[in-house]
């Protein structure tokens, strides 16, 4: 657990924990109804229904390993940096570094932009 947890950082940590366990209800509870999620070059969705469809994409198995190395917050924006290791349905693994930018509203995630880079 990250030290100096603000309410917004706690929401982001709850969200990350939901992804680790592929707990869709937990993830969705962290979002505003009009949430937006963008992975530049991959997709841009709006609303909880479309967001939920991307929690586990068709090519991947549930329960990725997610490590958050830093959470930074200013003015209702939380930035999370870390790593993800996930298994694809074909048995191969994908390792990524990420930087997620969360725009918060009322303690929930209103907008998320995920920057991803494949690592060795």
Confidence check: pLDDT of 1 > 50:
no
- What is residue 77's predicted lDDT score, i.e. its pLDDT? 98
Which stretches of 1-120 are DSSP H helices?
7-21, 24-29, 48-52
> Does residue 19 lie within any of the structural domains?
yes
**Residue 2, in any domain of the structure:** no
Q: What is the CATH number of the domain that holds 73?
A: 3.10.450.50
Indicate whether 51 belongs to any domain.
yes
Q: Is residue 50 part of a domain?
A: yes
Rounded average pLDDT over 4-29 = 96
85 within a domain of the structure (yes/no):
yes
Single out the residue of 39, 36, 33, 30 nearest to residue 12, CA to CA: 30
Q: Residue 107: inside a domain, yes or no?
A: yes
Q: Give the burial string for 38-59 (b: 16+ CB within 10 Å, else e).
A: bbeeeeebeebeebeeebbeee
Q: Which domain holds residue 111?
A: 7-118
User: CA torsion sign, 44 to 103 to 20 to 25?
Assistant: negative
**Domain total for the chain?**
1
What's the predicted TM-score (pTM) here? 0.93
Evaluate whether residue 1 is within a structural domain: no
pLDDT digits (tens, 9 = 90+) for 73-110: 999 999 999 999 999 999 999 999 999 999 999 999 99
In a 13 Å sphere around the CA of 2, the CA atoms on its Cβ side amount to 25
pLDDT of residue 92: 95
**pLDDT for residue 61 is more than 80:** yes
Band of residue 56 on the pLDDT scale cut at 50, 70, 90? confident
Q: Is residue 11 part of a domain?
A: yes
């Amino acid at each position: 657990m990250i030290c100096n947890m603000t309410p917004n950082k706690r929401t982001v940590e709850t969200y990350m924990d939901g992804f680790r366990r592929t707990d869709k209800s937990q993830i969705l509870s962290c979002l505003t109804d009009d949430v937006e999620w963008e992975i530049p070059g991959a997709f841009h969705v709006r609303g909880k229904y479309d967001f939920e469809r991307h929690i586990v994409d068709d090519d991947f198995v549930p329960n990725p390993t997610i490590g958050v190395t830093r959470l930074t917050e200013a003015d209702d924006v939380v930035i999370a940096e870390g790593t993800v290791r996930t298994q694809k349905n074909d048995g191969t693994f994908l390792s990524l570094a990420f930087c997620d930018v969360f725009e918060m509203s009322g303690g929930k995630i209103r907008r998320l932009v995920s920057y991803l880079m494949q690592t060795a």
